[in-house]
Structure 1
Amino acid sequence: MSADSRLFPDLDPANASTLLPLFDELLAMMAADGSRMQRWAEVLPGQLQDLLVTAEHGDQQRWVEALCQLPQVADVHCDLDAYDLGIGAAALSAEQQADVEAGLRGLMPWRKGPFQVFDSFIDTEWRSDWKWDRVAPHLSDMTGRTVLDVGCGSGYHMWRMLGDGAHRVVGVDPSRLFLMQFNAIKRYVAAAQGKMPMADLLPFKMEDVPANLKAFDTAFSMGVLYHRKSPIEHLEELRGVLKPGGELVLETLVIEGPLGEVLMPEDRYAMMRNVWFIPTVETLLLWCRRTGFKNARLVDLNQTSLQEQRATDWMRYNSLQDFLDPADVTKTAEGYPAPLRAVIIAEA
């Protein structure tokens, strides 16, 4: 099975040649005999058709042109253990570097990172490496694991998972721009490794992943739960994609307080409209237990700082400073407790 242009005859040829080959290897792996993901392989071509053709994003052509501007570069190297992936080359002409910079800036705003791509340092809105440094010490050995990263953004943490030894990482995030940003980085990681890396981003919501695949050793859900109208359903979906005994890594907003307390914002929270339920840690642990997870435990609790999330030259819109009460940064602009994030680990 292949995601070539025969499956998508209505897709602009430039888009087809740039986007569709990126899914070939993933489709082949899913469809292989004995794959736990065969059911997903059966529906994935139709899902891609809907996203990339039927409901093509208005900016898709512009983003594809930005991807096409990124030049081929010889002697590329990278370090997936480095906080910025350290993508470099033995030699890069001034013209090539200008094209790299222009192509990457054509994919702004960049929210999750950072990334060093030759002489371009993408200083993203979030210092996602800080979150990884808090989470990584508590993970099971990633060597050889098949991982699902839900709400993966532009894929920064996916690369760090590969750097820690994961066998294959599949990310899902509905943002089409994140897909383009991920594939910009993937182009140069592939050049450095001499093969397509075992990481794939699909522009979907978690609800688009077939239920009860039981195909992944680890499932990450970081920064998603509070955006779901039913956090219980999200936890059940996560348990359903995990193999028996698989590991859940859940990072979400919490509030201080006792078991049973939950904050539901009147309208916005930190200027975000789509925030529904923010529990206390004890309530969150109860949700995990009630949905069948075992040994749910808190491994990190962190107040988001103005240094971890901020506007930069690569993300020029409002950021955390603008979402807090200017007279009291311990509160959001609406008067709620400022963002406090918990990391929970549990087993299916």
Structure 2
Amino acid sequence: MAIILIGVGATIAVIAMAGLAIFTIKKNKKRKYSTVQQTEDIHLTNVLEGPRQLIKHRMCSSEAEVWPQMDTMLPEVYNLICANTFFVLHELLRIQMISLPVFWEAYEKIDNPSCSVFIIAHFINDGEEKCQGLLNMIHAGQDMQTQLLNTLNYADKCSPTLNPDSAHPDIIVSGDLKTATWTRNPQPYCDHPDRFDYWIQVMSRENFSSGCHCWVVNVAEVESHRVGVVYGSMQRRGRANACLVGFNSLSWCIRKLNNNLAVWHDKQKTELDVNKHPCRIGICLNYDAGILSFYNADNKMLLHTYYARFTEPLHAVLHMWNGSLTLEPADDN
């Protein structure tokens, strides 16, 4: 009997200790969350101290409603810009609310928080009208799909031609320079410094160093592909990453492989979640604004957008396996 009582007592003790441990863990978690939240609040207060001082200065000299509104919404405005910095920045440039020099000054800030504070301070300093314009744009809830459709309305609808001197020997370039076809019989091309000698790729003759241009690649007749843009300075010789589209800092592409769709830049992959693979991929390049978008050309739905500061002329590029890729002009509407 004594043994049983001892056993029961031990069990109760274990349960009590476990309950105390769980209570302690929950209490510590709550305390930890509270500490993190306080740290975040303090950080936000410190980050926004400069803009708040600018707003207070404006409120002393103006009774415009925008200043108390901006003061109240400041954390929300900051967080939104910080989470979508490059999109907001490009939208502001598109609707001409900032100049190109201001755009690049903001773009080159070391991180999103610094860039966000710079944008907010710039608009506060610019006055009531510009600050109200920033709030209106944020309220409008623009998104990257809208950005694409707006860009397509004024972009140059072009159709680049292929450069046979850049074509890998396993590629046949059509007479109109629009279609690249993979072949099992290597072509007797002459040696040329522009030619890819390992990766089955071909570039366009034309390059783009300014303006806004879009074109379409018909990918319905190919098993796997990479289509995108590259700097003309990208290496052509050998099997190194420096020569493969999407695997270096000089190229951007969308790739289909094993029924998966993804975008690649500098060996960084972003998987795309699509219900059905597009038969025609549109490429929209706004060189001056640093926007490169891939979209489904059949329904104009955005697939992915890159934001970058382009420093060299860009060429269209095709990489394929077992099939054909054809360059087409983008649709007018």
User: Do the structures match in fold with TM over 0.5?
Assistant: no
TM tier, smaller: under 0.3
Greater Cα radius of gyration, structure 1 or 2: 2
Structure richer in helix, relative to its length? 2
